[in-house]
Structure 1
Amino acid sequence: MSDHSSLHLLIGGEKLSGGSRDTQDVIDPATAEVLGSLPHATTDDLDTALANADRGFHAWRKESADKRAAALNKAAQLIRERAKDIGMLLTREQGKPIKEAIGEVIYCAMLFEFYAGEAKRTYGRSLVRPEGQSARVIYVPVGPVAGFAAWNFPAINVARKIGGAIAAGCSVIVKPSEETPAAGLALVQCLLDGGVPGDVCQVVFGVPDEVSRHLLGSPIIRKVTFTGSSAVGKHLVKLAADDLKVTTMELGGHAPVMVFKDSDVEKVLDTMVGAKYRNAGQVCVSPTRFLIEEDIFPAFRDGFVERAKAIKVGNGTEDGTQMGPMANERGPQGLAKKIADAKDKGGKLETGGDRIGNQGFFFEPTVLSEVPTNAEIMNEEPFGPVAIVNPMANADAMIEEANRLPYGLAAYAWTNDPKLRGRLAADVEAGMLAINGANVSAPDAPFGGVKWSGFGREDGAEGVMHCMVPKTIHES
């Protein structure tokens, strides 16, 4: 298994490092110490990967669904066997508590297992035609895929880029984040060890804009899939448009949480506070804007603050840690500016708001309340351990605020009113809505957003179908 002392590229099944390649340091966010040195792909490396992907696609698409499924199932078995080791790599490079990291790795195994079954379920359909004629729809793999993964979930984000594509019969070149490379490398190694050919799944690293421009500039790549910010997603879509490549974009969010007065406040708090500070708030679907009906606002705010203060922050490798550091230096710096702006605009700092210590990138679990909509943090995703708790007059005002932003990835709501739940399902602008719970993700459910939060879907049957294109066959 790869570790931080032996980081490498994976091109054509070969581990490449050293030579004249540029490198960058990989940093432990809990200590700010260097974990290892990561090689960047050269132009020749990228061209070799592209040629491999082209060759690998033409062979892999002809393999039976049974063989693709067997490789994914074997990879899932290996991931489960190696989960603790991969989880430790993930925690050391990204910071989240080891329990969360292992859970993330296991989710990857579950996703591959689902995709293994889905590889056999890409059914077409027959169309009704007069006697002597026939027409049918079949689905064929879109072609070689370029996948770009974010640092906040180093394993899941990579799994989502490669699993559906491999199940569909595509080849993939994936670029995990250079800040969190080892977990993604270990995941891909499980696929190769499970029987996926080395030219079907490859890993490259480098300066993100240079790598994306090179891969997207090649006619070999037929689909681009990306997890990251809306700004970068828009940039990649523009690059992909030059060659009319298919795109899947899982972009930023700013998830509202609507809590109505008929809710059990204690139950909501017990569920949503943990969800808020999971992965130090560095989650695309993290609940951020808590919109609380006025009658229960004081009790909700006070209960949230009490629970936030009790969270144990520490090194993710240590027992009992509930929240680790932020993943990089940018995190605490950006949060401090947003919190200061919120206070300047009239928001109230209820707890937290400061960096912890002078080692690593730790930040206090923070609660702001009564923050006006002109504050930066109400309009730009904080992507950190900050909750905004605001009173709202009624359902109309809550839905209006939930839909105010151009983002629409996840949303949450708590109410026991069946009619209101139906209205929320229809009117809230989000790709995923959790009612009376905090979970918006499952291997068999599509994952993705609307508006500036992107388009296309990962996970679920859609995660495979979005790596395929329909072809209609007419016969007379």
Structure 2
Amino acid sequence: MFIGGAWREASDGRTIDVLNPVTEEVVAQVPNASDADLDDALAAAAAGFAIWRRTAPAERAEVLDRAGRLLLDRLSDIATVLTEDQGKPIAEAEAEVRQSAEYFSWFAGEAVRSYGRLLPSAPGRRSWVERRPIGPVAAFTAWNFPASLPARKLAPAVAYGCSIIVCPAIEAPRTAAALVRALADAGVPDGVVNLITGDPPRVSERLIGSDVIAKITLTGSVPVGQTLVRLSAERLQPLTLELGGHAPVLIFDDLDEDQLRRAADTLVRAKFRNAGQVCISPSRVFVQRSVFDRFVELVVDRAQGLEIGPLANARRREAVAALVAGSDAKIHCGGVKPEGRGYFYPPTVLTDIPAGAAVLRDEPFGPIMPILPFGEIEDGLAQANAVPYGLAAYVFTTDLERADTAVALLEAGMIGVNEVALAAAASPFGGVKLSGYGREGGTESLEAYTVATAVTTRGAP
């Protein structure tokens, strides 16, 4: 843990094992924070905020820029730890560390652009709006992207003058520690950035129940998000919630053979990266009937020879296996849990799926690709929007009118047309419906980590 500028163990000596998803062996032990540790982190964050809020934006920018360069200098070592904890292939881990460095460098530029505005005023008066850092932040992150998720919260918090307590998922906590170390080595003052590992319910209750925490941000599941909303109700702390998704894909019949092939290539890569453990993963594929059979052939041909990393833990693999077993669908490839060590599950392609199947209703968060036919665009859109999630959605078409109609009517916070790469430092990330609210990334982060203060002045009374 990192509290008040110092690395430390839990005050009572308790630890949590970190398992390698490939070998199922313990690769590390991390502190299990006590209540005393959490109180120390809160005190440190309060003290850090008092310093950092008064630090010049240019100085904050320099710290973030140095930290981003340190991440790139340490890329290989950080990626190795990430893979050990979370299981994704090393190439994916390296790409994630690079993206984390991009968040730091991009928000270094934003630190000096937290603009307010001057308001029209009556003679003798001046009125303006200024942006002030919201205060100490409690940040909770999931295990599927152990570097980029903490980076997406650390970077704007530090840029805009907040202090922060980062609480990474206990399944993969060491990568977040590497990000915090980079910020510390880059010169962030003591208490501005803190890292806690421990039992999630106890940690969240203690932090959110404190008067110190002014802002909560979570990337996690819908049930966890709903729990944090309830915990925050007494103190009315604002939240940014990036929760589950069940992203639809619409494949239209105006694609020719080459375009269908490229769409299949793109979707297979997007669906099965990180073993499907991606909140914006294309997880319900709707294909117009005239090209349905051909598209299924193309996807199966690519998926059945694909080697992917393991799921993050045994719970995730059992949940994926249960969704497939309960789908009553035609299994074209995969669908069988392999023998041996590691939480592996093969790329699985399903068709002929009953309308009430759980795999169409619940976020699979694993290597399952259900493919279903649709008729006219209205039918496809109705099926795409028929879940309580609204994080991401995708459209593949060469018809501009179809693309415009789909973009206008899809219920999602992010939409890709002939494109699946949606996450970027300069772009707001977030959803609608049960996928949460608020945005991180892009200039929209200013809304999340600052408060608008209106000031009006007059001459002598």
TM-score range, shorter chain: over 0.9
- Which consecutive unaligned segments of at least 5 residues does structure 1 have? 1-8, 313-322
CA distance in 1, matches of 2:415, 2:129: 32
Task: From 62, 65, 69, give the equivalent of 2:57.
Answer: 65
Q: Deviations over 1:431-452 (max 9, x none)?
A: 0000011111111000000010
Cα deviation, residue 211, structure 1: 0.2
CA distance in 2, matches of 1:93, 1:432: 29
SS in 2 for 1:466: helix
Equivalent pairs, count: 455
- 1:444 pairs with 2:429: no
Name 1:4's counterpart in structure 2: none
Q: Is the 8 A contact 2:10 2:34 kept in 1?
A: no
Give the ranges of 4+ consecutive aligned residues of structure 1 lying more than 4 Å apart after TM superposition.
Answer: none
Question: TM-score with structure 1 length normalisation?
Answer: 0.94
Name 1:330's counterpart in structure 2: 315
Task: From 291, 294, 298, give the equivalent of 1:299.
Answer: 294
Name 1:412's counterpart in structure 2: 394
Name 1:287's counterpart in structure 2: 282
Name 2:361's counterpart in structure 1: 379
- 1:463 pairs with 2:448: no
Structure-to-structure mapping, 1:166-181, within 5 angstroms: 166-181=158-173
Structure-to-structure mapping, 1:178-327, within 5 angstroms: 178-263=170-255, 264-312=259-307, 323-327=308-312
Cα deviation, residue 354, structure 1: 1.4
Task: From 322, 325, 330, give the equivalent of 1:340.
Answer: 325
Cα deviation, residue 20, structure 1: 2.3
Structure-to-structure mapping, 1:82-231, within 5 angstroms: 82-231=74-223
Q: Is the 8 A contact 1:168 1:465 kept in 2?
A: no
Q: Deviations over 1:397-449 (max 9, x none)?
A: 11111111110000000111111211112111100000011111111000000
SS in 2 for 1:355: coil
Fraction of identical pairs, as percent: 43
CA distance in 2, matches of 1:159, 1:463: 13
- Inter-CA distance 16–437: structure 2 relative to 1 (3 Å threshold): same
Q: Is the 8 A contact 1:41 1:206 kept in 2?
A: yes
Q: Is the 8 A contact 1:258 1:291 kept in 2?
A: yes
SS in 2 for 1:237: helix
Q: Is the 8 A contact 1:369 1:388 kept in 2?
A: yes
Q: Deviations over 1:194-253 (max 9, x none)?
A: 111230000001110000000000010000000110111011011112101010000000
CA distance in 1, matches of 2:216, 2:352: 40
CA distance in 1, matches of 2:241, 2:12: 33
CA distance in 1, matches of 2:106, 2:233: 31
Name 1:320's counterpart in structure 2: none
- Which consecutive unaligned segments of at least 5 residues does structure 2 have? none
Q: Deviations over 1:1-47 (max 9, x none)?
A: xxxxxxxx111111111652321211000010110111111111111
Q: Greater shift after overlay, 18-27 or 278-287?
A: 18-27
SS in 2 for 1:291: strand
- 1:363 pairs with 2:363: no
CA distance in 2, matches of 1:138, 1:471: 5
Q: Is the 8 A contact 2:217 2:241 kept in 1?
A: yes
- Backbone CA RMSD of aligned residues: 0.9
Q: Is the 8 A contact 1:167 1:464 kept in 2?
A: no
Q: Is the 8 A contact 1:83 1:106 kept in 2?
A: yes
- 1:402 pairs with 2:384: yes
CA distance in 1, matches of 2:410, 2:313: 33
Name 1:389's counterpart in structure 2: 371
Cα deviation, residue 463, structure 1: 2.0
Q: Deviations over 1:285-306 (max 9, x none)?
A: 0000000000000000011111
